[in-house]
C-alpha cells in the first residue's frame, strides 16, 4: 500500500515503550472510506521522517495528505543536506 496516498492525522499519534510510532490514518478503497492506524518500527525507512513530523507542533498541525506530505519530505531531505 503506498503510504503517501493515505491521510495522516498527525495530531493523533503515540510511541510505545519500544519506540514504535503509531499514527491515525484514513483512506478509501473502492469508494469505501475507512479509518485506522499505521505503525512505524524504528527500523522502518519512514520512521525518521514521521518522527520528525510529529515532534514539531507546527509540522504535525492538521491533516497531512498528498502535496503536503511531498513538501514535508522535501523539507526533511533539505534538513540532512547540510550535515
List the domain boundaries for the chain: 3-81
Q: At what angle do helices 47-54 and 67-81 cross, to 10 degrees?
A: 100
Q: What is the pLDDT of residues 7-57, one digit of tens each?
A: 999 999 999 999 999 999 999 887 888 999 999 999 999 999 999 999 999
How many CA atoms, within 13 angstroms, populate the side-chain half-sphere of residue 8? Answer: 28
Question: What pLDDT shows up at residue 75?
Answer: 93
- pTM of the entire predicted model: 0.85
Amino acid at each position: 500500500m503506498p503510504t503517501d496516498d493515505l491521510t495522516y492525522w498527525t495530531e493523533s499519534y503515540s510511541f510505545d515503550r519500544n519506540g514504535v510510532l503509531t499514527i491515525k490514518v484514513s483512506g478509501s478503497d473502492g469508494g469505501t472510506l475507512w479509518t485506522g492506524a499505521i505503525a512505524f518500527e524504528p527500523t522502518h525507512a519512514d520512521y525518521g521522517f514521521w518522527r520528525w513530523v510529529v515532534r514539531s507542533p507546527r509540522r504535525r498541525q492538521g491533516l497531512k495528505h498528498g502535496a503536503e506530505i511531498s513538501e514535508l519530505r522535501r523539507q526533511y531531505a533539505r534538513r540532512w543536506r547540510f550535515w
